[in-house]
Structures are given as structure tokens and as C-alpha cells.
Structure 1
Amino acid sequence: MSRDYELGVIFSPEASEEETRSVLDRIEQIVANHGGQIVKVNQWGRRRLAYPIERHRDGFYVFIDMVLTPETVSDIERTLKVSEIVLREMVRKRDPKAVQREREEREARAAAAAAAPEATEEVPAEGTTEEAPAATSAEPTTEEAPTTASTEATTEEAPAEETAAAEPAAESNEEHIEA
């Protein structure tokens, strides 16, 4: 019976990229040999440790979501404990409700991504321009740049006006107190 697991590994900051890649490849190989599946690999990169481990203040964090049998977990743990570049490792069983929610979100995104290319193919056929997909890019366009600059200028001027408006109010409060 397969279950969802999350593997967290902290590699030594002195380890080369080739060494970490070889350990990750070995994990992938173990998972594939036992009929498991790697769902997602999340490499956080180099981060500060909460406390020194083997005189290291930093570590290279990697998190892997997998679908495995419980027997496979023991093989992965054994492999990681033998490796000299692994500072810490932890395998934990994931909450089935959270896993189901993530699967539904992933399927919804895949369906939306599959529908998006079909929609962009239909847009030129209807006679509209192709500028709409360019506007959805993550990079700001030249039209958006002046808007952000004017917004910044407005926010810089606003505090000065607010302070000027607040000073007469403070004076009137002092007059009321004195009377």
C-alpha cells in the first residue's frame, strides 16, 4: 500500500553540486526500483541553520514529496544516514486531506493550462489582436512602468500633506485644552 511522504534533507554547505545531485539521483533510483513516484522536488537552497550542526552554520535544504511503500522509506533513510554530506534528514507521512487538496489544485491548474493554449489559438481567429497574451506576462510592460512611478511619487507626497494637515489640528486641540 502506497502512502504519501515528505522527505526533508539538509546537505552540508561544503558539498559540491555534483555530490548533492548524486545523492538526489540515488533517492530517485531507490524510489523507482520500489515502484514509487516522486511528485515534487523543492530545493530551498542555502539557508541559515537554527543551531550549528557539525560546526556548520548553513545548510542546503531540499524537500521531496513522494508516493512510496513503507519499506522504501527504510531504504532511503539508510542511504541518507550513510552519506557524509547529509547533515540531517527526516521522512514524515503527509496528511491525506492536505495531499488530496494539493492533487485537486494541481489538476485544476493543469486543466486551466490546457484550456489556455486553446483559448489563445481561438483569439486570433476571432479577429482580435495578439496583445492580450503579452499583457499577462509576469514582467512589467512599458505601459505599466510609468504607472508605478507615478504611484510612488503620489505616496511620497501624501505623508507631507498629512503632516501639514495634522499640525493645525494639534494646535486647535492645545487651544481647547488651555481654555
Structure 2
Amino acid sequence: MSRDYELGVVFSPEASEEETRSVLDRIEQIVAKHEGHIVKVNQWGRRRLAYPIDRHRDGIYVFLDMVLTPETVIEIERTLKVSEIVLREMVRKRDPKAVQKEREEREARAAAAAAAAEAAEKAPEATETPSAEEASAEPVAEENPAEEAAAPATDETAAPVATSNEEQVQA
């Protein structure tokens, strides 16, 4: 029976990117071997520790959200305890409400992305540009805004147009 878990790992600040990547790759191998899957990897980077661990004041934080069996969790914990670059690790079950909310958000984003892709496919078809002959056949009306402003309104039912705040107050 698979469950949702969150794994938090604090690596030594002296660990290289290659070393941390190799540990994360090993975790991915264990998860894949036991037919689980990693939902999300959140790398926080180098942060200050709350208290010194092995004389280190900083650590490299990585959080993984995974769907695993309980047996897989035991093997991951064993692997991380053996590693010398891991300062601390913790695996915990995730809150079912939070998991459900994330699934709904992920599905909504996927639906929105699919709708956007579908709209992008239809958009080039709907926005065809007129040919040169069609564009030249249409009459183009030239407008002069100065003439329109100078001409008096012929319709007596038209409301007067105020152009500034003072005129609006007086009206």
C-alpha cells in the first residue's frame, strides 16, 4: 500500500554538488526499484542551521515529496544514515488534506495548460490576415480630430461634454 511521504535531508556544507546529486540519484533508484515515484523535489540550498551539527553552522537543505511503501522508507533511511555527507534526515507521512489540495492544484494547472495549448493551435487558424487586394479595396476614412472638436453639436439631446474637473463641478 503506497502512502505519501516527505523526506527532508540536510547535507554538509562541505559536500560538493556532485556528492549531493549522487545521494539524490541513489534515493531515486531506491524509489524506482520499489515502484514508488517522486512527486516533487524542492532544493532550498544553503541555509543556517538552528544549532551546530558536527561543528557545521550551515547546511544544504533538500525536500522530496514521494509516494512510497513503508518498506521503501526503511531502505531510504538506512541509505541516508550510512552516507557521510548527510547531517540530518527525516521522513514523515504527509497530511492527506495537503496531498489532496496539491493534487487538485496540479490537475487544474494541467487542464489550464492543455486549454492554452488548444487555444494556441486554433488561434493561427482564426487570425488570417487579409490579402493585399482585400486591404486596398476597403475605403480608408481619414479623421481629423480638430475639425470634430470645432464643429457644434447639431443634436439638441446630446449632453454637454466637460473637459476638466472645474467644468464638471460647474455643470
TM-score, normalization by structure 2: 0.73
**Structure 1 counterpart SS, 2:15:** coil
The higher radius of gyration belongs to: 2
**Structure 2 counterpart SS, 1:65:** strand
- 1:30 aligns with 30
- 2:161 aligns with none
Matched AA of 1:121:
E
**Uncovered stretches (5+) of structure 1, i.e. residues with no partner:** 130-179
Q: Could you tell me how far apart the structure 1 residues matched to 2:121 and 2:35 are?
A: 39
1:46-88, CA deviations, whole angstroms, 9 ceiling, x for partnerless residues?
Answer: 1111111111111110000000001111100000000000000
Greater share of helix: 1
**Structure 2 counterpart SS, 1:60:** strand
- 1:99 aligns with 99
Do the aligned partners of residues 127 and 21 (structure 1) sit closer, same or farther apart at CA in structure 2, a change above 3 Å counting? same
- 1:56 aligns with 56
Q: Which runs of 4+ in 1 moved over 6 A?
A: none
**Structure 2 counterpart SS, 1:123:** helix
- 2:12 aligns with 12
Q: Could you tell me how far apart the structure 2 residues matched to 1:38 and 1:121 are?
A: 32
Task: Count the aligned residue pairs.
Answer: 129
**Percent identity (aligned):** 86
Q: Could you tell me how far apart the structure 2 residues matched to 1:123 and 1:9 are?
A: 46
Matched AA of 2:49:
L
Q: Could you tell me how far apart the structure 1 residues matched to 2:91 and 2:21 are?
A: 19
The alignment status of 1:73 with 2:62, answered yes or no, reads no
Q: Offset of 1:128 from its aligned partner?
A: 7.6
Alignment RMSD: 1.3
- 1:89 aligns with 89
